[in-house]
Amino acid sequence: MNKKLHLAKEKLIVALDVNTTEAALELVRKLSPRVGMFKVGMQLFYSAGPDVVRRIKEEGVRVFLDLKLHDIPNTVAQAARALAGLGADIINVHAAGGTAMMRAAAGAVRERAAALGLPAPLVISVTVLTSIDQPVFQQELGYSGDIQGKVRAWAILTKEAGLDGVVASPKEIAVIREACGDDFKIITPGIRPAWSVSDDQKRIMTPAEAIDQGASYLVVGRPVTGDADPSAAAQKILSEMAEVL
């Protein structure tokens, strides 16, 4: 693997949207030569339980634990403390929970990781989900203004709370970079190669477009795991990413 493809691999996260540890491990073993990190979300975590994170880590890959914690500060801190013991590399919370909640989560994660002698996971916040478009944002959720402005405000709040970055659609990468700097991590779902379908994602870009905008990591699910040949699909995405790296 050449240098650009290796760099692309380190930036590619594949979502393990399956129900069992066995199915997740099968995908990890098939895709790990081309994928640097795997996302364990609610579907897999709630179906298979916390041990699935440890089992995936045993395969020598990184894990993004995507549970979007959102509650009062003490509850989120205690949940984050428990999750930090699983060895995940990234843990997330909802920016909508506010500064006190985010600070409590980050502090609990770093304290627990230090006590266990583990590297501290990145703690990031989720901004506006990529399945939400402007009409839903205003008419159903009741927000004024536009999505980009809200994402920018939440990214700034996240940085001020001491977190490492945000999850946001690729459409907001540029404004987050301008507001929060080059070291701030931006994880972008809503990635759809030109050869795939958009499914329920609304604010989307191709892998090359998102990397060119400045994304730190791309999260891809169904275009890889739903393909008849997931390994070949991942390779196509790597090649597209490498073109702009």
Q: What phi, psi does 27 have (nearest 5°)?
A: -65, -40
Mean pLDDT within 43-49? 98
Q: In the prediction, which pLDDT does 198 show? A: 53
CATH topology of domain 3-242: TIM Barrel (3.20.20)
Q: Tell me which residues are annotated as active site.
A: 66, 68, 71
142, pLDDT greater than 60: yes
Instruction: Count Cα atoms within 13 angstroms, Cβ side, for 24.
Output: 29
From 39, 34, 31, select the one nearest 240 (Cα to Cα). Answer: 34
Residue whose token pair is 């891809």:
220
Q: Tens of pLDDT along 185-232?
A: 999 998 888 766 555 555 568 999 999 999 999 999 999 999 999 999
The annotated binding site for substrate is made up of 17, 39, 66-75, 130, 192, 201, 221-222
The yes-or-no verdict on residue 25 having pLDDT over 60 is: yes
pLDDT value at position 83?
96
Hey, what amino acid is at 177?
Answer: R
Give the pLDDT of residue 197.
54
Residues in the annotated binding site: 17, 39, 66-75, 130, 192, 201, 221-222
For the segment 63-116, what is each residue's pLDDT rounded down to a tens digit? 999 999 999 999 999 999 999 999 999 999 999 999 999 999 999 999 999 999
Q: H-helix or E-strand containing 65?
A: strand 62-69
DSSP class of residue 120 equals: P
Backbone angles phi, psi at 44, to 5 degrees: -70, -45
Alpha-carbon distance of 124 to 203, in angstroms, equals 20
Length of the chain: 245
Q: Which residues pair with 90 in a beta bridge?
A: 64, 122
Structural domain spans, the chain? 3-242
